[in-house]
Amino acid sequence: MFAVLKTGGKQYRVKSGDVLRVEKLAAEAGDKVQFNEVLMIGSTVGAPLVDGAAVQAEVIDNIKADKVITYVKRRRKHSSQRTRGHRQQLTLVRITDLLEKGAGKTDVKAAVGARSKTEAPAEAAPAKED
């Protein structure tokens, strides 16, 4: 059985035991994550998501992709050039389980997006009384 999940703005076709390179998740190596945005599992197609379905995975490592070089050169009278490199941050995950029903009853971390959410801002300090 396979599933199609969505994370980091991309869709992946996965089955149990697959190793994926996904956009960076807010998890450390050894953590268990759960992807709740499942578009298809087995023969069930969601509209747009399958209710109650989830994919559980284990984080292997946080890595960086190969460097991508961008080179810009202006021609003729400008004589300027610029080189810039970029390495995308990725997370290696191993798919452990495909859950068709009862996905909300597990105690693993839910992977929401590629980047970690910032903490809620601290409450404003009370006004000084004079």
**Mean pLDDT of the region 53-76:** 94
Q: Which residue has the higher pLDDT, 127 or 15?
A: 15
For residue 117, the model assigns a pLDDT of 45
Tell me if the bond preceding 126 is cis, omega within 30° of 0. no
Q: What residues form DSSP beta bridges with 55? A: 35, 98
Residue type, 121: P
Dihedrals φ, ψ of 103, to 5°? -70, -25
Paired tokens of 22: 């996904």
Q: Given this model, what pLDDT does residue 46 score? A: 86
| pLDDT, average across residues 101-109 | 60
In percent, the amount of the chain with pLDDT more than 90 equals: 65
Residue 37, both tokens:
């945005």
Describe the strand order of the beta sheet including 109-110 as a list of residue ranges: 19-23, 89-99, 54-64, 32-35, 109-110
Three-class SS state of 67? coil
Overall average pLDDT of the 98-123 stretch: 58
pLDDT (mean) for 50-66: 95
Cα–Cα distance, 130 to 32 (Å, whole number): 52
Residue 123: per-residue pLDDT: 55
pLDDT, one tens digit per residue, over 31-45 is 999 999 999 998 889
Query: In the predicted model, is pLDDT for residue 103 greater than 80?
Result: no
For the question of whether the overall pTM of this predicted structure is more than 0.85, the answer is: no
